[in-house]
Amino acid sequence: MDIQKIGIVGAGQMGNGIAHVCALAGYDVILNDISQDSLDAAMTTVRKNLERQVSREKITQADQDATLGRISTTLRLPDLGATDLVIEAATERETVKQAIFEDLLPHLQPHTILTSNTSSISITRLASRTDRPEKFMGFHFMNPVPIMKLVELIRGIATDEPTFSACRKVVERLGKTAATAEDFPAFIVNRILMPMINEAVYTLYEGVGNVKSIDESMKLGANHPMGPLELADFIGLDTCLAIMNVLHDGLADTKYRPCPLLTKYVEAGWLGRKTERGFYDYRQNPPVPTR
């Protein structure tokens, strides 16, 4: 099928990035959120990121103007009913995602493809709660969306070939690369990345090294562009913990047990950059390790 209009649920860090790249690629985009403040902040972020691309001569001023003109925002979920493809990018909680799909289903066209940007939750299970499991799949962008080139495409057990092909064409039009992943907990990237981050937290928890030495060791010793604790703060410690819990619950292997220190930080509300405190304190410049 020919996808022309894309609906995005959730205007946060991922949602506004997805809106940005889809509109830049020529799709008409409807961005939905339950908060007007979130929608306004999302459009401010999209505009700022487009301006950065113009200043670096990645796109033209005309491209920026056209992209912004293709994005509309709404507080009403039913307004997404007229779209050809819906990408859900809400909080990484299965109950929230299920409630969104339940509210959205009565308003969708028969041909509309439903997808989730989930980073770890079972696509088959999410699809089974809808009226179109064959037209449902995982569409997992990497953060930050305008920069990262990979998209994981995850089929559920019922996903049909036309749905997969249509989503792959969207990825190609966005100028990104699709990696096909099977529907197992955390898929490919987070199945490998999150246990590494969790192990870095255990290394801190057990006193093997402090925050600075752990991050410097991986940056200078393994040539990582960002240390694992710095990366955890960037992703959000609540998201890291949620994915580790999905791995631990879904695979029933003790090697995926979330580090108690990671749980403690999340319980404290120290979630990383978005709350200004995590493994680093971002209220100071430059950020200072908290352990």
Kindly give the pairing relationship between strand 28-32 and strand 177-181: unpaired
**Contact criterion met (CB below 8 Å) for 176 and 151:** yes
- DSSP classification of residue 57: T
Pairing of strands 177-181, 71-74: unpaired
Amino acid occupying residue 162: P
SS3 210: coil
Cβ 87 vs Cβ 9: under 8 Å: yes
CA atoms within 13 A on the CB side of 253: 8
Active site residues: 119, 140, 152, 190
Peptide bond into 195 cis (omega under 30): no
